[in-house]
Amino acid sequence: MKPQIPLRSRAMSCYVLRRIEGRPEVLLLRRVGDPLDGEWCQVAGRLEEGEKAWEGVLRELKEETALVPDRFYSGDICEQFYNAFADVITLIPVFVAWIDKPQDIVLNEEHSDFGWFELEEALTRLPFHSQRQTLQTVWQGFVHDEPTKHLAIPLP
């Protein structure tokens, strides 16, 4: 067998969007502790036993923010990057959650702060190129354009 770089896909990611007075915004959270202490990021987490990726990201969204989306979609994209420490290529399915009605955010212990940002400001806060690329793709497909109905995931 030829040597290979292993693929790992055990996490998922969610970009949370809303519109305030017609202006679209994305939610970013500031991490506490390892990994990425102090960095801004989207909602993300690891799968638990028996979960589908979309179920896991809804659980993470509720655990990390207490938010329940009004509309929920497959983002039609995966984040991908090479993790040098684990020597794996990581693939992370991306989801999009729209918050249409006002909701309070309650952060868990993994985050110290949150903010709703317009695209340009959000792009300056995300630490990784792949996050910025993914957010731009999400923005194009879910803010500028109407997502196809085939990406909608019915909420439980």
Prediction pTM value: 0.94
pLDDT in tens, 98-126: 999 999 999 999 999 999 999 999 999 99
pLDDT in tens, 25-37: 999 999 998 878 9
Q: Are 131 and 79 in contact (CB under 8 A)?
A: yes
Q: Are 61 and 67 in contact (CB under 8 A)?
A: yes
Q: Does domain 7-151 have CATH number 3.60.40.10?
A: no
Q: Sketch the domain layout of the chain as residue ranges.
A: 7-151
Strand partners, 115: 28
Can you tell me the distance from the alpha carbon of 116 to that of 26, in angstroms, rounded to the nearest whole number? 5
